[in-house]
Structure 1
Amino acid sequence: MTNMNSSVIIEDESKLELPEYIDRPEYVRNKSVGYSLQIAGWFLFMWLFMPLLTIFFWLFEGKTIYQQMIVQAEPTSPLSLVHLATMILIFIAVLLLWATYNWVRFAGKERRSAPMSVNEEQLAISFKVNPMDILNMQQAKNLTLYYDEDGRLEFFETNQSLKKRL
């Protein structure tokens, strides 16, 4: 029996079977066309199938709801329409009160502040690299950082080629 918690670290990236388009942004073109097709597909789905689902639920479940809520329900029963409507209105009122309280409490009060700016030397000390490497990383269009098991930066790649080993 194998231990399910043991993790295997794959050092050879070719064994990961990653598709090429993950590391190659030129393969991911025309995102707007893909998103447009996705939106068109959802509209087509709703246009075709939502009316059919609605008709199905009206035909088969409408009778059950009518029997349970109108015919068999007594005015004093806990599931009468008046009680349900009252509960819904109470929930809406509680939500509105909570929203009003939060608006009064936080309106015009910015509790978040911008982080302090750091220079290249401080950033280099934080990552334990030299300041020139920080400048190279800041100017790179594509950047991949490799960390060891303890979370320390081992090396980095810029523009799809290995630039610097730390």
Structure 2
Amino acid sequence: MKNEQTHLNTDQQSLDIPQYIDRPEYVKNKLAGFSLQILGWTLWMWLIMPLFTIFLWWFEGQNIYKQLFLSINNNGRYSLYMLAGCITILILFLLVWASYNWIRFYNVQRRTFPEPATEAKIAQSFNVSTQDIHIMKNTKNMTLHFDDHGNLVRYQSD
């Protein structure tokens, strides 16, 4: 393989780079540039995009009209009657399901308040004595030490 050297062009005149690229002093009137930018975005958002949206609505409206209303007699998969029938069936399923749930759960109180936690139950869950729970409850600062299985090993009250 032949070793080829690449030639880097360092002559600024032959690169054809505009002078204002590297020299910010050529950009004097920033207000005019920003004003043109705001004007362009305003025209885009308030004139061009709404016209484009109206065109797409018109085009899709024509497409829907051709596909649904003009193809009623060809009994296609997406005829207007088929879509109306599917929507009606789904609405009926929803009404039956809602009625079933209303009959099943109307005036039925299934949620109960939890039992209050006593010192004995808390002591049993932490596997400590009731006296220790009483001390822990009255301590402002406390350090708990657990083993690898999450069981309380000891505590330090400060």
* TM-score normalised over the length of structure 2: 0.47
Please say which structure displays the higher CA radius of gyration: 2
